[in-house]
Structure 1
Amino acid sequence: MPAPITSEQLQPVSPVDRTVKVALLVPLTGNAAEIGQGMLDAAQMALFDLGDDDFQLVPRDTKGTPGGASEAARAALADGAKLILGPLFSSSVGAARPAVQGAGVSMISFSNNPTQAANGAWTIGFAPDNQVRRVVSYAKSQGINRISVMAPRDGYGEAVTSALTTAASDAGARIVRTERYDPASTDLSPTVQSLASGGPGSTDAIMLADGGPKLRSVASLLPAFQVDPAQVKLLGTGLWDDPTLGTEPALVGGWYAAPDPAARREFEQRFEATYGRKPPRLATLAYDAAALAAVLARNGGPAPFDTLNLTNPNGFAGVDGIFRLRPDGLVDRGLAVMEVTPSGNRVIDPAPTSFQTLGY
């Protein structure tokens, strides 16, 4: 017969700590502090929307430097973070990743540099691969078979031209001409002339992998070299996601792929009503990452951030549309196809709501 329990043996049982800590590594001081603060504010919005009492967001200042990011990551891990969101800059991701991976913790960074992607370390920034693939696929469906490209001779231009080669092959189109230029050049006339040297009718579309004043300058030069934007479709990347592009007549009618602006508009309105200022463009990345973490922490079981949960092939629905984390560290996104008009850019092919409809 068991011996009776005495009062001396009775001890209060400590409550189980169910807190799930997720770290957010962003620049809160330094040159990028305004962006970092906006991303932190957006992440806090996501917690208000989707978090519960057991979820704790742990902000850490990267100072916008690789050394600061490495220090922030180590501090977050020492504090018990089970998932790292951030950092923002590519060099900071490279500096923080060894400590994070060494601790067996996953990292969802905000970089758009695919070279920083790895198993267990995702880059969810707006990389050109998804944008190029989407707009090329749509263009092919509209009868475009021959594509030329003009891109800067830098990392971004290399990423676009590489993505275009793959996307064209997958879609059944072909690349007929590639022109690269020094991104510091102030006179792109020779490059545009070379691009147009095939003569009228030699290409169906031209991808211009640039944005801002450089894009406007290139587009304005095309008619001078007998490239008629009414006959040759101009294609772009996410750098075209600028509602004022239609003020350059040569760009009107051009296509590019980007997140559907409608959902982002609602987020921006909520952010401004909450914080009294407009959010930085990258704030949606922080919102979506924090929302994903909060949902998995609540519904993902005893190991909410394991690879199986994070790489759910059905993906997740965010402010910037559907997205899914791939096992190789890259991210698939469902984007809309946009057309440049004089009064702003409009959706001409809606963003998909399921990855089953994308065929990849």
Structure 2
Amino acid sequence: MRPVALLLPLSGERAALGLSMQRAAMLAESDAKLMFALDTAGTATGAAAAAQAALKRGAAMILGPLTSWEASAAATAVAARVPVVAFTNNPAAQASGAYVFGITATQTTTAVLRYARSRGVRSVVVVGDGTAWSNAASEAAVKAQRDLGLDVRAVAVTAGAPLPAIGDAPDAVLVPGSGDAVLSAARALRDSGVQLLGTVQTLDHRPSAIDALDGAWIAAPDPAAFGSFSAEFEARNGGDPGAIAALAYDAAKVARTLRDAGRLSREGLLGTESFAGVTGAVRFRTDGSCSRDLAILVAAPDGYRSVATSRGA
């Protein structure tokens, strides 16, 4: 039986995260003969060398690496001989042949806008802070407006500056992240009666953030599913695994599901209807992207609760 290789930064500045991801993956596949880890050191050169080592050891599939530059280097080194399921959320890695398994800005933005449209929202203003995620969410919202029947406008805010004029009051305001400038805008807009929307990176458990986001609809993985995974991880390893470690757990489950079905291959990856996971059920596409089911959460004083599911964002 051919094994699966897990490419992670087990040395360097992201070593602690890499170790947490390795431990999470081993919850889904504990047999070292069926899954082994290789260190990328968090660099493109290290990722390419690790990918080549994985091929020499007979790997049928590569899970990882973590970043887009590592993923591109690994996929290029592999040259399509085996699938590379990378943990990055940067769609740029698809160009190298890697599958982008991270939760992308497009997935979570589209999911929350689809839900908002189903609830009667017709106009949305996206309030960004200039970060890469915020910019990607704004771009995704603008691209989705025709398909969803929405009118979308985007404005930018900076810390300490007043909220720019947004014209006629929209039905909803999308805040892609949870930076101080965005949360300040969210607090002001919430008090005006506008419906707030958020993405997975809007989730913030600080009391001040929850207060600012009270009543917001947010697209993210189901907290109940993550809670079960987190409890299992803590019982085995101690500590909080974090959301990125959950991706490693889900990827290892994908590989195990395919092995159990005798389909540990690119054909199996693309031909399977859906893979269940802590970060949402996913289906892989031929272009290297994934469709992902996400929960729609509502922010409340006691936290976030799930009220709906957005299918295949």
Instruction: Kindly name which structure, 1 or 2, has the bigger radius of gyration based on alpha carbons.
Output: 1
Same fold (TM over 0.5): yes
Contact residue 38 and residue 279 of structure 1 kept, 8 A: yes
Q: What corresponds to 1:262 in structure 2?
A: 224
**Cα deviations across residues 266-325 of structure 1 (Å, max 9, x unaligned)?**
111011001122213211111111111122122134xx212x311135211112221111
1:243 deviates by: 2.9
Q: Report deviation, 1:28.
A: 0.8
Deviation sequence 1:58-84 (CA, Å, 0-9, x none): 200111122211221111112221211
Give the conservation status (yes or no) of the 8 Å contact 2:76–2:96. no
220, 225, 249: which one aligns with 1:287: 249
User: What does the per-residue CA deviation read over 1:194-232, in whole Å, with 9 as the maximum and x for residues that have no partner?
Assistant: 23xx15xx3111111222434323324x2xxxx454521
TM-score between both structures, scaled by the size of structure 1? 0.81
State which of 202, 206, 230 in structure 2 corresponds to 1:244. 206
Q: Which amino acid aligns with 1:279?
A: P
Q: Specify the SS of the correspondent of 2:253.
A: helix
User: Are 1:178 and 2:138 matched, yes or no?
Assistant: no
Are 1:193 and 2:201 counterparts?
no
Pair 1:111-2:88 in alignment: yes
Cα 1:130–1:106 change in 2 (3 A) is same
For structure 1, the 5+ residue unaligned runs are 1-18, 353-357
Quote the offset at 1:20 in angstroms.
1.2
Of 183, 190, 196, 1:234 maps to: 196
In 2, the alpha carbon distance for the partners of 1:245 and 1:167 equals 32
Q: 1:257 to 1:148 in 2, by over 3 A?
A: same
Question: What is the alpha-carbon distance in structure 2 between the residues aligned to residue 136 and residue 275 of structure 1?
Answer: 37
Match of residue 141, structure 1, among 100, 118, 134: 118
Partner Cα separation in structure 2 for residue 39 and residue 267 of structure 1 = 13
The equivalent residue for 2:27 is: 45
Taking structure 2 as the reference length, the TM-score comes to 0.92
SS in 2 for 1:94: helix
Please point out which of 302, 307, 312 is paired with 1:348. Answer: 307
| Deviations 1:30-71 (CA, angstroms, capped at 9, x unpaired) | 1111110011011111014xx7x9x52120011112221122
Look up the match of 2:259.
Answer: 297
3-state SS of paired residue (1:337): strand
Say if 2:278 is the partner of 1:319: yes
Specify the code of the residue in structure 2 equivalent to 1:180. Answer: A
Alignment of 1:219 with 2:186, yes or no, is yes
Q: Percent identity?
A: 36
Taking the TM superposition and a 5 Å limit, the aligned residue runs for 1:52-67 are 56-67=34-45
Name 2:290's counterpart in structure 1.
331
Aligned to 1:72: 50
Letter in 2 for 1:26: L
Please say if residues 155 and 164 of structure 2, whose CA atoms lie closer than 8 Å, have aligned partners that are also in contact.
no
Q: Give yes or no for contact 1:246–1:340 (8 Å, CA) kept in 2.
A: no
Give the Cα separation in 1 of the matches to 2:96 and 2:45: 23
- Equivalent pairs, count: 313
Provide the C-alpha distance between the structure 1 equivalents of 2:127 and 2:174, rounded to a whole number of angstroms: 6
